[in-house]
Structure 1
């Protein structure tokens, strides 16, 4: 077990203001688009974290120029992608799913591998889709990392059908590079199970960013996305704050009867984290969005939540932890796909909450949570940043909570423990 971290205990309602770093989802999409663009791009306020540094390093390995610019910006200079190259994906789904569709455009082989847990994350459907579009890949039949993309600098593209019920990143990865394929790409989602694509807001984000870069995308037909071949315009982008990383900070207000503001919350966004406004309201909070940001203030009661989180699955760990502290039962639904994330998040949440005295049961597609008094203990993170965030949230109101390997929060927010400690101790 790695360095259990004593989670700070709140001695009064948590009250404060927090500024979030840039969005991981936006940053890694922008890096792919900038790498394939027709000219140099500027990305201001990009997230600097393990996932985004892995993406930047991977693209540099393929010949893309990514330099430091003013104020922490990244200046991206596109170039023909080249191999041979070896890419470390870490445990980043955006790297392992977004990079292969770009790597097929490289001249030469590109080998991708990652952390041990990454080798268990599903990739076969994406690899099969790329083969259907004309790519040459060698995964020795594993359908997972490691594998080699034998790039030939071009790919026919065209129509492809993929079962994306395990991850929206399969669709986004193909969308982001599809304009550079000879025929563009037409992606159809189809699955015998009838399960929909999870996390659709993330696909909406990909579509919106492509359109902002001048790419023609038609998503008017359900489960179908058409990307016309053509250039990708250079980006001049201010990266939004990461709204999903705001979840534990805002949840701290509900857990302790406090009030927390996250600055810079966009009035309009495709980020799934924006759903927190509705979800926290349903749990009894008073939520206000104004020029100061998004403010969440605790109400008289912390209520349980019955919600379909299919489109916003990444919020599940923090919501489950908050639900374990609520006065009434909760049912979190629509998130069976979380079993294939950084860890099996449903099993992990049930195990860790129950180890602290909770009553949590896995369902076919989520969790059923009955509030129970919790006690201290070590909360396992499973090398999963969202699990670690859930653990520190519990530590606000439960004595003697220690979070195993809290450093895994650096995957998307390297400053997490510092900002968290400052917020908790600021009252």
Structure 2
């Protein structure tokens, strides 16, 4: 039986892909867990036997989580949909590629990953602040490195503010969250340091052994098995080619999992202050920002060029984001990861754009016992794409494309549109089978 700590480690190693349940006319769109950010007059949320029970134990939930994740992975079409974000590394790389295609160095960008381990909008039960911080850190690290490489290639590096000195400000809600993330990052760094020392000792012993023998038999050391497993857990694309040395492979593994704190400043919006909704909320938010955030954005220092905020979902957090956007969006890149805004959209965020969005669903005809149809609403470029797979292992195919305008370009296609596409697909499928 796995312990709760085992479950936590599992959740931080992979991004569990969940679905929600949604009923629309003659079809179900299944979403897990039992809540959704969508609302509509023509649709209503319901439940389904695939939902995670509030009374089930951790082992049962982990098994269910793995089953649902496997459903999506089995059909993912990399040529059409890019890399599947099943690890922090893979998610960060895929999102960074979408940023690179826009070539914008300032403004407000939104990342929408409807995965409960990253999405506080779906509740706190499965949300993992450390995992979300890993994704955010790896993303901004790639953006900073890409900008640095671009500046070097273009020979526009300033002597006073070299691109290598640029940093990113990574914001979470409060100091308690900062301490949690810092504790995990520090333990992870210590663990890697100890592993590196053991590797050096093993390398020295191997070298002495080889010097005392005329010939050496080449074989895989048992320690290598751990590295292979670690590489697979981080990102299969990070492994070297078959001709690369073991030293290069191990070095790449370390680079993908350690935190380069020289470029990332982890900070809270509100510190230890308790800010709730009320008449004095605005004053408290402004004072908290002036104490915790503004000092790092001093224009005379000119160190921070990227501000990333993880899961701003409460009214005080949204108010803080509006203040930061109003003051810094013209000079800095601001990234909001899984934010929640009440409608109508705040004026400061009217020009925000969604850079990457992933929304997985399961669909089936009403009162049907047939195999569930998988649907993914994905945004990687300008358009929103809807992909479908009607078998357990068949690859996703593009079913429809949506080009929302105005504010809808940030929110994406409506649930009514998704349900209509699903219903039409199921009707055509049923007609073809008769």
Q: Same fold (TM over 0.5)?
A: no
TM-score, with normalisation over the residues of structure 1? 0.25
Structure with greater helix share of residues:
2
TM-score, with normalisation over the residues of structure 2? 0.25
Compare CA radii of gyration and give the structure with the larger one: 2
Structure with greater strand share of residues:
1
Q: Which has the higher contact order (CA 8 A, sep 6+)?
A: 2
